[in-house]
Amino acid sequence: MIKRILAVAALCLIGTTSVVSAENQHDNREAAMKKIGGAMGGLSAIAKGQKDYEADAVKASLTSIKETITVFPTYFPPGSEGDDKGASPKIWENKADFEARAKKLADDADALLAQLPADAAAVGAAMGTLGKDCASCHQQYRVKE
Phi/psi at 34 (5° precision): -65, -40
The residue (of 15 and 79) whose beta carbon lies closer to ligand HEC is 79
Q: Can you tell me which of 101, 108, 112, 117 binds ligand HEC, judged by CB under 6 A? A: 101
Contact call for residue 123 and ligand HEC (CB under 6 A): no
Burial 75-109 (b: 16+ CB within 10 A, else e): bbeeebbebbeebbeebbeeeeebeebbebbbebb
Cβ neighbours around 60 below 10 Å, total: 13
CB-count burial class (<10 Å; 0-12, 13-18, 19+) for 8: exposed
Quick one: which segment of 6-14, 54-62, 113-121, 129-137 binds ligand HEC (CB under 6 A)?
A: 129-137
Contact mark string toward ligand HEC, 48..87, x via CB under 6 A:
-----------------x---x--------------x-xx
Residue 133 engages ligand HEC in binding (rule: CB under 6 A) = yes
* Residue 78 near residue 38 (C-beta atoms within 8 A): no
Contact residues for ligand HEC, defined by CB under 6 A: 29-30, 33-34, 36-37, 40, 65, 69, 84, 86-87, 98, 101-102, 105, 130, 133-134, 137-138, 141-142
